[in-house]
């Protein structure tokens, strides 16, 4: 209980403190110390409640309810303010709807509904707390060095920018990062839906402000796209709470789920609405564009949004709803189809991207799609897979984003095609990036093992469409990761290491992410027993017939073997070096220049295949958006119409 309070309140205090600090030196100290404190606290929290079943804490406070309401009003106010300033009428309308809804809910409607058990802990919230506490705060540390370079770049190259765009907004930036962590802890530890909703809305507005960080036109546009999509989800969440009070007279999430299990036809609409909120936050089609737009923000923001916060809140809610998906067919089908389609189509679109951050964004959306579909399938195996996917994705994706961020500052490009020659002098970064990529898509790493469990659960639950979507989507996954990996593979051989300008804080957190990714892969069997299985047992009362433990150990050993090859392999071999064959006499072998048939000099270049004509955004995106929109609209209407008829 004390630890929960610490996890929620401590980042909040640090956020306020960071808002006031202007100097780099003092900020470094505060961020380092508090990041370590949060990480340690989340580990202590995990140890204390390891393997415990669902455990509620009786905690209710009228003051906290009012604070939650006040925060809701403040959030609407912030959006309203920005909406007026940048003349975005849609944002203004949504903010007003939310404001009115919030006030009616708090004062006219749910005033007498009290939730005794305000906070809780179970194995899923432990896993989430570890992800937020360790990976989230690791990213905050990384941001220290990154933002120094970022600001320097703005100061040196910001001639064309306005005063507003060049302003050093770093205190706000770090305050928002820590506020984000606090809000995430609220979401994963609250049983009171009002508080959960407050955390939900804080993450929405935090990412809005982080995306708008640079105040360029692009940043502002993308920030508004994000806020509009996520406020739609927020309003759906609010509406679901109205329904919960009307039907179940409760705002306790646990009681809501229990009520739903007894009266599935009554909760079809609120479950649909909550699932809709989850889909928007998890950036599923047609809402995936907000996550793509979020790339304009500084890279630590992307890392935070993609790995440990924001989108993970979306899938967290969906996984929590899984018991209800098992009894409510319509919302379950909506989630399954949207998730499956998103997985396949976004994997397709990732093939056609040359921008590294965009590839990462598409892969995030695709993986979230897979988690979403698993939540919808809602068998013990599927939930086992979903939780593991959340863990591995968080570790590998944060590692990749941090690597790309550092690379970008040193080679001045995010283009994958630029990652061969310019990258030559950063072999360690290249190897870490390779590790991250391998963790994302290939056996024997955890992500693929989870995908395998996903496949089994899809087959067992006779989800024929999902099996096909998974088969084709996975193939696309191989293509876009494989060619990126190939671009990096040549670098590991270069002996020199000129990476001196990378900040120590960046190395520290990149190293941390790499270790987490590796430990998670190698300790997969243990992690399954300690963290995931207690949750499955708690929810379903039984364990799924998941992958035999022997197979987990085989993959664990093979993962360790790959690690040895990547980091300890005989890279500087004594073999005689030869020039590349260029069908002509080499003039400069390193630059691939040769003497051509006219005795002139030609440069041999090659580009990876991006298969634009088949998998281009222009071809894939529109049908996917239309299809998913239809599915969502039909499902929400059907959930309101069909159950009463039956």
Pairwise CA distance, residues 241 & 337, whole Å: 25
Residue 66 or 553: the one with the smaller Cβ distance to other proteins is: 553
Chosen residue from 359, 448, 516, 522 binding other proteins by CB under 8 A: 448
Contact flag: residue 623 with other proteins (CB under 8 A): no
Roughly what angle, to the nearest 10 degrees, separates helices 264-281 and 311-325? Answer: 160
**Coil, helix or strand at residue 507:** helix
The residue range among 34-42, 93-101, 302-310, 560-568 that interacts with other proteins, by the rule CB under 8 A, is 560-568
Chosen residue from 483, 584, 625, 627 binding other proteins by CB under 8 A: 483
Residue 110 or 448: the one with the smaller Cβ distance to other proteins is: 448
Chosen residue from 444, 534, 544, 643 binding other proteins by CB under 8 A: 444
Q: What is the DSSP string of 110-172?
A: STT---SEEEEE-HHHHHHHHIIIIIIHHHHHHHHHHHHHHHHHHHHH-TTS-HHHHS--HHH
Chosen residue from 17, 73, 455, 627 binding other proteins by CB under 8 A: 455
Closest approach, Cβ 534 to other proteins, in A, equals 25
Answer yes or no: are the C-beta atoms of 47 and 39 closer than 8 Å.
Answer: no
Answer yes or no: are the C-beta atoms of 335 and 371 closer than 8 Å.
Answer: no
Contact flag: residue 186 with other proteins (CB under 8 A): no
- Whole-Å CA distances, 378 to 46, 146, 299, 368, 567: 25, 40, 34, 15, 39
Pairwise CA distance, residues 151 & 591, whole Å: 33
Contact flag: residue 470 with other proteins (CB under 8 A): yes
φ/ψ bin of 36: left (φ > 0), alpha (ψ from -120 to 50), beta (otherwise): alpha
- Whole-Å CA distances, 137 to 141, 170, 220, 532, 628: 6, 16, 26, 23, 35
Contact flag: residue 554 with other proteins (CB under 8 A): yes
The residue range among 120-128, 188-196, 408-416, 454-462 that interacts with other proteins, by the rule CB under 8 A, is 454-462
The residue range among 247-255, 361-369, 518-526, 604-612 that interacts with other proteins, by the rule CB under 8 A, is 604-612
Pairwise CA distance, residues 183 & 192, whole Å: 14
Nearest Cα neighbor of 315 from 256, 264, 274 is 274
Residue 222 or 342: the one with the smaller Cβ distance to other proteins is: 342
Closest approach, Cβ 415 to other proteins, in A, equals 16
The residue range among 74-82, 253-261, 521-529, 565-573 that interacts with other proteins, by the rule CB under 8 A, is 565-573
Query: Which letter does DSSP use for residue 579 in this model?
Result: P
Closest approach, Cβ 595 to other proteins, in A, equals 15
Chosen residue from 26, 29, 93, 475 binding other proteins by CB under 8 A: 475
Answer yes or no: are the C-beta atoms of 313 and 184 closer than 8 Å.
Answer: yes
Residue 503 or 595: the one with the smaller Cβ distance to other proteins is: 595
Contact flag: residue 467 with other proteins (CB under 8 A): yes
Contact flag: residue 571 with other proteins (CB under 8 A): yes
- Per CB under 8 A, contacts with other proteins among 152-181 are none
Contact flag: residue 28 with other proteins (CB under 8 A): no
Query: Which letter does DSSP use for residue 581 in this model?
Result: P
Contact flag: residue 443 with other proteins (CB under 8 A): yes
Contact flag: residue 112 with other proteins (CB under 8 A): no
Nearest Cα neighbor of 560 from 511, 516, 525, 521 is 521
Answer yes or no: are the C-beta atoms of 572 and 495 closer than 8 Å.
Answer: yes
Contact flag: residue 182 with other proteins (CB under 8 A): no
Torsion, CA 205, CA 209, CA 210, CA 213, rounded to 10: 170
Contact flag: residue 642 with other proteins (CB under 8 A): no
Residue 167 or 592: the one with the smaller Cβ distance to other proteins is: 592
The residue range among 201-209, 216-224, 246-254, 458-466 that interacts with other proteins, by the rule CB under 8 A, is 458-466
Chosen residue from 288, 312, 487, 621 binding other proteins by CB under 8 A: 487
Chosen residue from 569, 587, 593, 627 binding other proteins by CB under 8 A: 569
Contact flag: residue 597 with other proteins (CB under 8 A): no
Chosen residue from 44, 97, 485, 543 binding other proteins by CB under 8 A: 485
Q: How far apart are the first and last CA of the chain?
A: 44
Q: Quote the Cα angle for 173-518-423, to 5°.
A: 65
Cα atoms in the 13 Å half-sphere on the side-chain side of 538: 18
Query: Which letter does DSSP use for residue 569 in this model?
Result: S
| Count of residues near other proteins by CB under 8 A | 63
Chosen residue from 606, 644, 645, 646 binding other proteins by CB under 8 A: 606
Chosen residue from 282, 432, 562, 620 binding other proteins by CB under 8 A: 562
Phi first, then psi, for residue 118 (nearest 5°) are: -80, -35
Contact flag: residue 601 with other proteins (CB under 8 A): no
Nearest Cα neighbor of 502 from 435, 396, 568, 408 is 408
Binding site for other proteins (CB under 8 A): 420, 442-444, 448, 452, 455-456, 459, 462, 464, 467-468, 470-472, 474-476, 478-479, 482-483, 485-487, 489-490, 492-493, 548, 550-551, 553-555, 558, 561-562, 565, 569-583, 592, 604-606, 608-609, 611, 614
């Amino acid at each position: 209980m004390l630890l929960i309070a610490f996890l929620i309140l401590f980042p909040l205090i640090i956020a306020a403190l960071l808002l006031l600090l202007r100097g780099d030196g003092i900020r470094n100290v505060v961020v380092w110390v508090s990041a370590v404190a949060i990480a340690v606290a989340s580990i202590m929290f995990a140890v204390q409640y390891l393997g415990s079943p669902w455990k509620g804490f009786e905690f209710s406070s009228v003051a906290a309810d009012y604070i939650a309401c006040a925060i809701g009003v403040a959030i609407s106010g912030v959006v309203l303010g920005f909406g007026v300033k940048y003349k975005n009428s849609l944002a203004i309308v949504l903010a007003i709807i939310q404001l009115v809804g919030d006030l009616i809910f708090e004062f006219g409607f749910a005033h007498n509904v009290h939730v005794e058990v305000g906070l809780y802990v179970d194995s899923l919230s432990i896993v989430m707390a570890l992800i937020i506490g360790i990976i989230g705060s690791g990213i905050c540390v990384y941001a220290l060095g990154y933002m120094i370079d970022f600001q320097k770049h703005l100061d040196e190259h910001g001639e064309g920018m306005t005063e507003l765009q060049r302003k050093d907004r770093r205190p706000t930036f770090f305050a928002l990062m820590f506020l984000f962590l606090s809000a995430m802890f609220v979401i994963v530890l609250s049983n009171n839906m009002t508080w959960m909703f407050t955390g939900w809305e804080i993450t929405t507005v935090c990412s809005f402000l982080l995306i708008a960080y640079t105040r360029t036109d692009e940043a502002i546009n993308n920030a508004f796209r994000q806020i509009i999509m996520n406020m739609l989800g927020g309003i759906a969440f609010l509406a679901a709470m109205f329904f919960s009070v009307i039907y179940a007279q409760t705002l306790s999430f646990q009681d809501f789920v229990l009520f739903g299990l007894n009266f599935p036809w009554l909760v079809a609409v609120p479950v649909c609405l909550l699932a809709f909120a989850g889909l928007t936050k998890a950036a599923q089609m047609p809402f995936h564009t907000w996550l793509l737009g979020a790339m304009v923000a500084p890279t630590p923001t992307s890392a935070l949004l993609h790995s440990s916060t924001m989108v993970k809140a979306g899938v967290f809610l969906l996984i929590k709803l899984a018991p209800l998906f098992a009894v409510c067919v319509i919302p379950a089908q909506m989630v399954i189809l949207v998730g499956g389609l998103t997985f396949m189509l976004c994997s397709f679109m990732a093939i056609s991207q040359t921008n590294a951050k965009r590839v990462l964004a598409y892969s995030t959306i695709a993986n979230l799609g897979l988690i979403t579909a698993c939540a919808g399938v809602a068998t013990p195996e599927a939930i086992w897979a979903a939780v593991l996917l959340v863990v591995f994705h968080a570790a590998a994706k944060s590692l990749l984003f941090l690597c790309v961020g550092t690379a970008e500052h040193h080679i001045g490009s995010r283009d994958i095609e630029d990652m061969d020659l310019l990258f030559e002098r950063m072999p360690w970064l290249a190897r870490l990036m390779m590790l991250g990529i391998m963790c994302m898509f290939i056996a024997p790493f955890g992500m693929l093992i989870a995908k395998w469990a996903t496949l089994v659960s899809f087959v067992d639950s006779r989800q024929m469409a999902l099996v096909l979507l998974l088969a084709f989507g996975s193939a696309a996954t191989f293509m876009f990761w494989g060619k990126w990996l190939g671009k990096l593979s040549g670098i590991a051989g270069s002996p020199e290491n000129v990476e001196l300008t990378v900040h120590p804080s960046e190395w520290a957190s990149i190293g941390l992410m790499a270790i987490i990714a590796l430990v998670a892969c190698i300790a997969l069997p243990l992690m399954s027993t300690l963290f995931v299985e207690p949750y499955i047992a708690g929810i379903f009362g039984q364990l799924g017939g998941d992958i035999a433990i022997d197979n987990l150990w085989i993959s664990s050993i093979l993962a360790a073997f790959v690690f040895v090859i990547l980091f300890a392999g005989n890279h500087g071999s004594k073999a005689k070096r030869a020039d590349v064959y260029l069908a002509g006499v080499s003039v400069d072998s390193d630059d691939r220049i040769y003497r051509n048939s006219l005795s002139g000099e030609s440069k041999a270049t090659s580009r990876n295949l991006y298969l634009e004509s088949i998998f281009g955004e222009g071809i894939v995106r529109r049908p996917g958006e239309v299809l998913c929109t239809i599915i969502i609209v039909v499902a929400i209407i059907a959930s309101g119409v069909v159950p009463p008829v039956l």
